[in-house]
Amino acid sequence: ILASDGQGGDKERLTAELDTLKGLGITNLRVLVGGDGPDGIPTRIEPTLQKAPGEYNDTILRGLDYLLVEMAKRDMKAVLYLNNTWEWSGGFGCYLEWAGAGKALIPAIDGYQPFKEQMAGFSTNEKAQELFYQHIRNIVSRRNSITGKPYKDDVTIFSWQIANEPRCFSADTIVRQKFVEWIGKAASIIKECDPNHMVSAGSEGYMGCEQNWELFEKVHSHPQIDYITIHIWPYNWSWAPAPKPEDYIWASIDSTKKYLAGHAAIAERLSKPIVVEEFGFPRDAMRNDWGTWGRDHYYQTIADAVVESDRNGGVFAGLNFWGWSGYAPKQPNGTFWEKGMPYCGDPAQEVQGLNGVYVSDVSTTDIIKKAAAHTNVNYSVEALLENDWLYTLDDQKPLRVLVRTKQGRAGRVDVSLELKTDKGETYKNFTTTARPGRITDTIEFHMGLEPGFYKARLYVEKDGLTEKAFNIGCEPTAIISPRDAQDDFESFWKDTRKQLDAVAPNFRRTLIPERSNDVRRTYRIDMISFGGVPIRGWLVEPVKEGKYPVRVAFNGYDSKPWIEDPNANPNRIDFTTSAREQGISEFFPPVKDWATRGISSKETYYYRGAYMDCVRAMEFV
């Protein structure tokens, strides 16, 4: 629509959106070819493309032509989907209405259950299907009005997609079989019109196949379905309910990992790749004026899973998020789309801004950009873990690196290793050539390390940048650090220790009955430290008298205090303590400025007292 010259057209915005997406590294866009049915229907996008069977809005068709031309300029690819289960673009409901099966129902008006029952009829309505098949032939056989090139010869088209989230909405075995058959026939018709491009079903996966793995596998086992698609919607599927879906982010992530694993197993069996082509998570508290904390965690999870699979030659081959709102202005909370409003990533029947990513959502776009940088490359490098990343001087083994290629790319590729000291100074650089052939090659770097710790970065700069960072060390016991102590270092700390010794510790132990048993008893230890500051610790000691080793644990910066399990380690004493004003030793609501408090003077710096707190704890032990 944005690419058209008619209602809703905005080529200036289209240019800005495409340039921004390209700048983020996004090279694949999933695009609805056009809506179906008359304009003016509640919850439906407009202007629509197909007003009646075979009757098209030429302005929208020319807009599709223009979009493909602009995408080609940016080396972007389009997945073009041709139909829709849902009401927001007309879809199945329109075809059923045109076939005489009654007026297309709208869930928000007519109810979701009646809508599902009506949509279930598409799988068995041959007249409605035939109208759709003719639409497939009309679109897939089209010639671009700007370039004159047939769509079947346009390399900008990545693939054709039968429909957005096709569902059969039925438990009936006959309906399910008809569902599989019409999808297979639609795929075959696309291939007859265009043998040059791939075809996908557009399925959500298990959730879109009546939560039936067998049905999902049947749909995607058809020889004309080239790759598998899945969609993931934690909020829509009640994994993360309102009013604050972000409160359920960790449970949603756990469910998502299981969802990915289930589909991966079938994809491996079918020897077909998977694209996670649609996933989303609402804005925090489902409000446009809130942030994207929950969404960011969710996007990162999906990105990590796909990138890791891609690196390791797994079945996940790409991802598309839903959806891009870009430069659309944010609407007030709870706003639904109406004619004349700017288009954004949320369809007309959903709250505008709920799932869409705006250009101002910088934390989200950063995740997208990093994921794109990894998925757009054609090589991966992996340092093989050996020797626990520690090397010796007398028998220093080489660093072995596994180099993988995608899509069986043969040839040579230069792999570089950059080593820096732990202070960030350049130490050594190496480059060697890998010859991965069709799959992999293992290369070696002879580093000649000196004692020390090093930051390593492996990278390939071909067909995009791929890199892997890690740390290594050599003979740490032989590291000699230069002395940089001030002239008064020894005298300062001796005087500090004397001041600590002048403070009576007043050690007191208080039994904690609820944390004690017949194995070990737990005590709260109170004491006075440097400067008269009180500190505390938890002592857990065996009931049985005897001589035992002691494990002393100092809580980290602002870490939450813990008490050791009295049932664990019955032959050990555990003493856990915190520095002043932190953790166990927090007596009042803290001002968390410990790292800089009093830093202008060695006499008043917080850590002078914190170090003495550690000494006092050891004195107690």
pLDDT tens-digit readout, 589-611: 777 888 899 999 999 999 999 99
Beta-carbon contacts of 379 under 8 Å, excluding residues fewer than 6 positions away, are 403, 404, 405, 406, 409, 413, 436, 460, 462, 463, 466
Kindly indicate the confidence band of residue 407, based on its pLDDT and cuts at 50, 70 and 90.
Answer: low
For 37, left (φ over 0), alpha (ψ -120 to 50), or beta? left
Q: What is the predicted pLDDT for the residue at 410? A: 52
Q: What is the predicted pLDDT for the residue at 404? A: 78
According to CATH, the topology of domain 227-376 is: TIM Barrel (3.20.20)
1-206 and 491-620 share one fold: no
Tell me the average pLDDT of the chain: 93
Q: What is the predicted pLDDT for the residue at 303? A: 95
Taking CA atoms, 43 is separated from 86, 107, 402, in Å, by 10, 9, 52
Kindly indicate the confidence band of residue 93, based on its pLDDT and cuts at 50, 70 and 90.
Answer: very high
Q: Average pLDDT, stretch 225-241?
A: 97
pLDDT higher at 303 or 484: 303
* Class of the CATH domain delimited by 491-620: alpha beta
Q: What is the predicted pLDDT for the residue at 556? A: 86
What's the pLDDT tens digit per position in 163-204?
999 999 999 999 999 999 999 999 999 999 999 999 999 999
Which of 146-155, 284-293, 374-383, 502-511 has the least mean pLDDT? 374-383
Q: What is the predicted pLDDT for the residue at 343? A: 95
Q: Is the dihedral of CA 50, 54, 55, 57 positive or negative?
A: positive
**Domain extent listing, the chain:** 1-206, 227-376, 379-478, 491-620
Which of 75-84, 88-97, 454-463, 532-541 has the least mean pLDDT? 454-463
H-type alpha helices, 358-434: 362-375
Count of other CB atoms within 10 angstroms of residue 117: 13
Yes or no: domain 379-478 corresponds to CATH 2.60.40.10: yes
Beta-carbon contacts of 224 under 8 Å, excluding residues fewer than 6 positions away, are 184, 187, 188, 190, 191, 199
Kindly indicate the confidence band of residue 489, based on its pLDDT and cuts at 50, 70 and 90.
Answer: very high
**Helix, strand, or coil here: 479?**
coil
**The 573-577 sheet, strands edge to edge:** 508-511, 520-528, 534-542, 573-577, 550-554
Q: What is the predicted pLDDT for the residue at 406? A: 67
Q: What is the DSSP letter of 443?
A: E
Kindly indicate the confidence band of residue 263, based on its pLDDT and cuts at 50, 70 and 90.
Answer: very high
Q: Average pLDDT, stretch 435-442?
A: 72
**Superfamily of domain 1-206, CATH level 4:** Glycosidases (3.20.20.80)
pLDDT of 14 over the 80 cut: yes
Contact (Cβ atoms closer than 8 angstroms) between residue 206 and residue 218: no
Q: What is the predicted pLDDT for the residue at 483? A: 83
pTM of the model: 0.69
pLDDT of 280 over the 90 cut: yes
Q: What is the predicted pLDDT for the residue at 462? A: 72
pLDDT higher at 472 or 465: 472
Which of 111-115, 188-192, 294-298, 484-488 has the least mean pLDDT? 484-488
